[in-house]
Structure 1
């Protein structure tokens, strides 16, 4: 007789669904605010924020894709839109002729400065307002090891590419 399929107990299932719903509701509100305040998608905001936090204002495209958990091809498209808008520049990586480096421009920094106050307000209002300071610390303590566990899996860019076989 085959083993029964794996399942989640009711508490695990409830926690999973609550996390997914909270994430979806928060992301929807954040995306709406970013569009209205800065004509940015969520991914574009993530890219600009990561570049804005970097000491040099630059990152390799592969590192950005791994950091924002986005495919390289989709990220290339988003970086192209940001470049057309004058918010980033792209250039061949100095240490790898196949690599691309993305750098935030002054206009990109200005756009970030424009959207950040509303972004912080949404996150504060929706995520942190109903929680006490101790709850926020507990939430961070719970999520950090889960994130670290998931990040321990090699990033997509490190995974070997699948070859399509002719059938």
Structure 2
């Protein structure tokens, strides 16, 4: 009997589990650093970073949810917390009455400037310290096509919302 089309062999399975473990350990250390340095969650940090890097410091909520791979409702909750802290503003989208545009404030930019050096230190120490520059380039060369393959599917915001269990 032939293997299913996407069967994973032992080498691939080992690579998968190593990737998952590395990702979990790194995320734990990053979350701890973000809490200590800026009282931020990982999702809040991702939102602020995406906005800080965006033209005019703004993005639509659905774009942010897709970019950071987070549910719309979860992002709405996190954005509410960021807005209450004065780190972002939310306004109706000028081109879509149902859409919301999120914009980073000066306080949000200042917080990113304060926590980013520690974030980079954790990433450098935990992920890149044991790798040579050449190994880091190889890692990037391996992961970018995988990311692009995964991102080729329609964004999560294009999927219809589920309104309850089918009857």
TM-score, length basis structure 1: 0.95
Aligned to 1:107: 107
- Residue 93 of structure 1 and its aligned partner are, at CA, apart by 0.5
Matched, 1:9 2:21: no
- Residue 8 of structure 1 and its aligned partner are, at CA, apart by 1.9
* Superimposed CA distance per residue, residues 58-107 of structure 1 (whole angstroms, 9 cap, x where no aligned partner): 00000000000001111000000000000000000011110000000000
Cα separation, partners in 2 of 1:4 and 1:11, compared to 1, 3 Å: closer
Aligned to 2:162: 162
Distance 2:48 2:3 in 1: 46
Is there any run of 5+ residues in structure 1 with no aligned partner, and where?
Answer: none
Aligned to 1:139: 139
Cα separation, partners in 2 of 1:166 and 1:27, compared to 1, 3 Å: closer
Cα separation, partners in 2 of 1:166 and 1:125, compared to 1, 3 Å: closer
- Residue 166 of structure 1 and its aligned partner are, at CA, apart by 6.3
Distance 2:149 2:72 in 1: 22
- 3-state SS, counterpart of residue 102 of structure 1: strand
- Residue 164 of structure 1 and its aligned partner are, at CA, apart by 3.0
Instruction: Output the aligned Cα RMSD.
Output: 1.5
Distance 2:92 2:136 in 1: 41
Is there any run of 5+ residues in structure 2 with no aligned partner, and where?
Answer: none
**Matched residues, number:** 166
- 3-state SS, counterpart of residue 36 of structure 2: helix
- Residue 159 of structure 1 and its aligned partner are, at CA, apart by 1.0
Matched, 1:77 2:77: yes
Aligned to 2:19: 19
- 3-state SS, counterpart of residue 56 of structure 1: helix
Matches of residues 39-78 of structure 1 in structure 2 within 5 Å? 39-78=39-78
Distance 2:147 2:104 in 1: 27
Aligned to 1:148: 148
Matched, 1:38 2:38: yes
- Residue 9 of structure 1 and its aligned partner are, at CA, apart by 1.2
Cα separation, partners in 2 of 1:76 and 1:145, compared to 1, 3 Å: same
- Residue 39 of structure 1 and its aligned partner are, at CA, apart by 0.2
Cα separation, partners in 2 of 1:165 and 1:125, compared to 1, 3 Å: closer
